[in-house]
Amino acid sequence: MPTRDEILTELGLVPTWRRRARAGADAAPEAPRPAEPAAAPARACAVSEDAESRAARIGRLEWRDFAGDVDACTACGLAQSRKKSVPGVGDVHAEWLLVGEAPGSEEDAKGEPFVGQAGKLLDNMLAALDMKRGENVYIANVLKCRPPNNRTPEPREVDACRPYLDRQIALIAPKLIVALGKSAATTLLGVDATIASLRGRVHRYQGVPLVVTYHPAYLLRNLPEKAKAWEDLLFARRTLRGAAVVDTVPGQN
Ligand code: SF4
């Protein structure tokens, strides 16, 4: 198991990402809770189901049916091009919910969010916070299926898929949502804004505090921004611990 210094060195963040000792700031993390295995009996979406009925049905899904329902979903055109659906992964009782935009090619092939180099960076960032994928963390995307060629999701695709994310939030009841990247942030918050203007504040989605940071794939292309992402994660942790003031922007969820 690498030490935090080794992780920060690998991320190229020493000394920028080195945490200062602060009284009470580094309480021992909670004992990890095992992720519950997701039973996933397939359940087909009825083709004739209208959007309202579908949203209501998804809003009643339990974990045992969730992944199978996503896998059988044909509510938008992405069902035609996906290899695998990517419902999400992690601790279903997590305090932290990390939300990205949509699966990429490697996620599409494996059926798991944030794999490959971006996923490795995300795991290293979590490790620097003494956290681990699957332990008090759940990772999902706004869209559960990959847009072809990683194009930007269309509004109708987001609308069709949103009931799944909303149900995940209701089932997990996270204490904090971290939106990874501009697309996830602006989609969840319903605003057209730069990521720079959204960082460093506590927003809300579905009543849950939400903070914004960069997508790991963006960080891989823009290494100097890693230090800002680290600041965001520390801000997120302070928010979860109740040390940051919720600054809800009028008009947002
Ligand atoms: Fe269904 Fe969402 Fe996949 Fe579209 S992206 S087919 S709404 S699960």
pLDDT in tens, 162-193: 999 999 999 999 999 999 999 999 999 999 99
C-alpha distances in Å from residue 56, one per residue of 63, 72, 158, 167? 16, 17, 17, 10
What is the greatest pairwise CA distance in the chain?
Answer: 58
Which atom belonging to ligand 1 lies closest to the Cα atom of 82? 3
CA atoms within 13 A on the CB side of 181: 21
Ligand 1 shell residues, CB under 6 Å: 70, 73-76, 78-79, 85, 143-145, 157, 160-161
pLDDT at 198: 97
Q: Domain boundaries in the chain?
A: 42-240
**More confidently predicted of 251 and 144:** 144
Q: What is the pLDDT of residue 95?
A: 97
Closest atom of ligand 1 to 73 CA is: 1
Residues 107 and 114 sit within 8 Å (Cβ to Cβ):
yes
88 C-alpha to ligand 1 centroid (Å): 13
Rounded Cα gap, residues 85 and 144, in angstroms: 6
Higher pLDDT, 27 or 225: 225
Residue type, 184: A
pLDDT at 101: 96
The pLDDT tens digits for 23-73 are: 333 333 333 333 444 444 444 444 468 899 999 999 999 999 999 999 999
Question: Which of the listed residues 142, 146, 161 should we mutate to test ligand 1's pocket, taking the one with most ligand atoms within 8 A of CB?
Answer: 161
Q: Which CATH number fits the domain 42-240, given the four candidates 3.40.50.1820, 3.40.470.10, 3.90.1150.10, 3.40.190.10?
A: 3.40.470.10
Q: Whose CA is nearest to atom 2 of ligand 1?
A: 161
For 67, the enclosing helix (H) or strand (E) is helix 63-72
The alpha carbon of 175 and the centre of ligand 1 are apart by a number of angstroms equal to 26
CA of 227 to the centre of ligand 1 (A): 34
Give the range with max mean pLDDT: 29-38, 94-103, 217-226: 94-103
Which atom of ligand 1 is found nearest the CA of 74?
6
224 CB burial (10 A radius; 0-12, 13-18, 19+): exposed
